[in-house]
Structure 1
Amino acid sequence: MNTRILSGYSWLELWSPVTFAAVVLLSIIYYKRMVVSSRYVVTKRQITYLYIAAAFLYIVKGSPLKVIADKFLFSAHVFEIMALLFIVLPLFILSMPAEWARKYFWNHRLKLAIKIFGHPWMAALLFNGALTAYFVPRFFNIIHESLLLTTISQLFLVFTGFLMWWTIIMPLPEINQFSYFTRVAYIFLNAILLMPIGIFLLIVISQVHYPVYEATATRFIPSMTAVYDQQLGGGLLKAIQLVSYGIALFYLVKNWSRKEDEKEGQVEDENIRVVQGVVIHLPKK
């Protein structure tokens, strides 16, 4: 890896103080308004989720990785986008106290938009369609000719990604109308919808699709060709997606199993009576 190339960039470009200040400010606001104020019930796990999300946000948007992703390696850019969508976003939603989410999302102007666009199948099509279109070479190469188009497209990805994860995580009890089976099937659907761009376009097809990175990949890593860089990007896309969905699937199945056990326990309690110390099992209704 030719790290000397990065010496041509200033410290401000490599370690964006603006991004760092924004992340620190976000963390301080969260701690003061959520934890110190005692207006919301916040667990230690939620606090941990927020700080991990903040750390990853700075890594992908404020560290030298951002320069590498923008200027040298397509695979680094894929990691940046996937970390933002599959690590930062779900952790941010998990860090939300229920009352805060209810106040600013469900009982606010965003409620209607979340109801419409946050429907599982609508959110799945929007998110996976937008992410697939983003990496289609024709669109990707046009988008990355303009900083404005790049910013708008990534903000749209974050918006659709938020809706997709909102459906899976369901942070509010009153909107938890979809069964665990539906949510598990939804995860499998999302994984399948990204297969074409993740496997066929980036891994199987061995030709250069992103000329903006064609010359820079070898400059940064001498043994790395543009095709290998592209294929590595495809591998990272699927790996991060599947690990993130796998963790979500594990917790959904775990909670599903616990709920079923609680229901069985309630049924058993309804059919048990204790009379003078004698346990009587009544016939099930």
Structure 2
Amino acid sequence: MPLSIFGFQALWSPYLMGLITFIIIIYFLMTAKWRQDFKVSEPLKKSEAISFLIAMVSIYIIKGSPIDLMAHIMFTMHMVQMAVLLLFIPIFLIKGIPWWVWKVVIETPVVRVIFKIWTKPIVSTLVFIGLFSIYHLPSVLDFIKLNETLHGIYTFILFVSAVFMYWPLIQKMPNQEQMKPLYKLGYIIANAVLITPACALIIFASSAMYETYTNGEAWLKAMELCVPASTLSGLSLSGPELFTDMKPVEDQQLGGVLMKIIQEIIFGVLIASIFTKWYRSEQKDPDKITADALKAHQAKLELERQHQV
């Protein structure tokens, strides 16, 4: 059965398109025309503008195009949507917003406290993995997908936690401590390992676990998240099997596999990028690096000698 039966609004989300267009306009006004209103600012870099546009276009593709509709029909597309939303887009969003705009946001009294706590590597990792894992418990996912408000709130919180998770890796704020390359590599590997149990639960399940992808009544109710109720009421639908030949358990397992593969690809690219930059920085001036290391070692010995005296 063709997806066109759900109508233009469900397929292309014109309201989301309008919202994203508005955000892009505000972004360029803020970083160009209104830049002088900031106490500290720099000209917008081309790389920042491109990164921000990639983030915005990606959000529309996975939440406003037919992909979002398919994510409510097939669990496979749901997991692809989650992978892009949580593991791909935050990277470009953080890079796309200039540091001096982030500075204004972070220095807001309430936000400052939140960032100080929730961007600590251990905290941000545990919170993100915890929220992701809880969300994909069958009882939780089925419950959330039946309430549009709850689904929107939880998805937003999950996305924000992904931004916090990536922040220690990507942020380049002046006067903020930068994570050392070796620690970054360990941090990425830890995230990859910790997300594995949630994916394994989905991949190795012997039967389909989610009512909103198997039970016709629950599935139809969950479809109201992206299809107007008035449109659904005029259709005669029994379940997702009308749109796919894949068995529910196969759909579920493929979704878990694709989530893990996409995660490994993204994390692999990050590891390669960090390692390459680290190697190049080490090769730029080996004599200076050696001298700095010796100086630090001598300072440590001197400090130990003073304690002994």
Shorter-chain TM range is: 0.7 to 0.9
Worse-superposed segment, 253-262 or 164-173: 253-262
Q: Which residue of 2 aligns with 1:196?
A: 197
Per-residue deviation, residues 121-175 of structure 1 (Å, max 9, x unmatched): 0000000010011111121111112112211211110121111011111231322
Whether 1:220 aligns to 2:221 is no
Instruction: Please tell me the residue identity of whatever aligns with 1:141.
Output: D
Aligned counterparts of 2:277 and 2:174: Cα–Cα separation in 1: 14
User: Contact between 1:187 and 1:245, CA under 8 Å: does it hold in 2?
Assistant: yes
In the aligned structure 2, how far is the partner of 1:52 from the partner of 1:174? 28
- 1:175 aligns to what SS in structure 2? coil
After TM superposition, give the deviation of residue 248 of structure 1 in Å.
Answer: 1.6
Deviation at 1:268, TM superposition (A): 7.5
Task: Tell me the alpha carbon deviations over residues 3-29 of structure 1, each in whole angstroms, 9 at most, x when there is no partner.
Answer: x2x222121221111100111111122
Q: Indicate yes or no: 2:32 matched with 1:30.
A: no
**Secondary structure of the corresponding residue to residue 178 of structure 1:** coil
| 8 Å CA contact retained: 1:93, 1:171 | no
Alpha carbons 1:40, 1:100 under 8 Å: kept: no
- The more displaced of 95-104 and 127-136 is 95-104
- 1:19 paired with 2:20, answer no
**Secondary structure of the residue that 1:160 maps to in structure 2?**
helix
Cross-structure match for 1:167:
168
Q: Percent identity?
A: 26
Answer yes or no: is the 8 Å Cα contact 2:169–2:179 preserved in 1: no
Partner residue of 1:176? 177
What letter corresponds to residue 61 of structure 1 in structure 2? K
Residue in structure 2 matched with residue 117 of structure 1 by the alignment: 118
Offset at 1:114?
0.9
Over the aligned positions, Cα root-mean-square deviation in angstroms equals: 2.1
Q: How does 1:1-285 map to 2 (within 5 A)?
A: 2=1, 4=2, 6-37=3-34, 39-70=41-72, 72-106=73-107, 109-198=110-199, 200-214=200-214, 216-222=239-245, 224-262=246-284, 264-267=286-289
Using the size of structure 1 for normalisation, the TM-score is 0.86
Native 8 Å contact 2:172 2:178 kept in 1: no
CA 1:107 to 1:171, structure 2 compared with 1: closer, same or farther past 3 Å? farther
For the residues of structure 1 that align with 2:48 and 2:128, how far apart are their CA atoms? Answer: 25
Instruction: Kindly provide the amino acid, as one letter, of the partner of residue 205 in structure 1.
Output: A
Q: Give the partner amino acid of 1:45.
A: S
**What amino acid maps onto 1:211 in structure 2?**
E
Quote the offset at 1:190 in angstroms. Answer: 0.4
Q: How many Å separate the matches in 2 of 1:259 and 1:108? A: 36
Distance 1:190 1:41 in 2: 34
**Whole-angstrom distance in 2 between the partners of 1:241 and 1:44:** 27
- Give distance in 2, aligned partners of 1:91 and 1:177: 18
Q: CA contact under 8 A between 2:13 and 2:64: conserved in structure 1?
A: yes
* Contact kept? 1:208, 1:226, Cα under 8 Å: yes
**Does the residue aligned with 2:175 lie in a helix, a strand or coil?**
helix
Q: What residue ranges of structure 2 are gaps of 5+ in the alignment?
A: 36-40, 217-238, 293-297, 299-309
Structure 1 contact 170–176 (Cα < 8 Å) conserved: no
Indicate the residue corresponding to 1:273 in structure 2: none
Q: Which 4+ stretches in 1 moved above 4 angstroms?
A: 36-39, 267-270
The structural deviation recorded for 1:108 is 5.0
Shift of 1:217: 3.9
Q: Give distance in 2, aligned partners of 1:106 and 1:254.
A: 32
Change (3 A) 1:187 1:267: closer
